[in-house]
Structure 1
């Protein structure tokens, strides 16, 4: 079904290219970061029908659930645990083609099959992550990395 949707709406890259200005328009004049995160999640979920899209924010030595779209999620994730905690610790984007093969994966839902996590870096420090899950294996690639990084960079530019 996702492949049919992509045929109707264009390639993944074309979809991201059309979505970027929309997201930038949504967040560029809004100072409330919770609202901005919520709109980013909604836009990504709507455009790509991802299984789960959300933010986790650094609070002490844990990531705490922020705005998201999808089923109920894990509320707290320890530093360097699971895909999100590992992306935070490494301060780099992680693409996981099969979450069942990721050592220490935290299964908030057994329906999640692949995942990409992008750290949010502000002033050289990780302040959170954007987590995107798919119900299909091998859903994420360098196109997702490229455009999700652009979305996060636009978001960070807007943080006061």
Structure 2
């Protein structure tokens, strides 16, 4: 049990580092594009920011799922990458079909993968809201400067 918690904690920390790198890249892009984003027209630029943020979230989410899937294969929990990836997606999104289960000696990792998915979904939601809030507020401030 303790080794599962240790391994799960390491995997969660790895996915948090991946998310932090994604957030850092998104912040850098926003800073770099700041002046362009506040110039008119605002709506198409806001849509582009949303699309870019969603693509960043999907990239980070995919990388996190791969981390878990590869760990399951390395730990010999699954004998192939496809079921390991499928289980990781189902656990990470907390969908929990239950058609593929972990062996009893590894089942704590399934719960930790689900907890990791919940944590990351919350972080991603916060990131999307913050990016849109920041761009929108800068656009509004930029409008008042134009008048």
Instruction: Calculate the TM-score normalised by the size of structure 1.
Output: 0.37
Structure (1 or 2) with the greater helix fraction: 2
Structure (1 or 2) with the greater strand fraction: 1
Higher-Rg member (1/2): 2
Q: Which has the higher contact order (CA 8 A, sep 6+)?
A: 2
Instruction: Calculate the TM-score normalised by the size of structure 2.
Output: 0.40
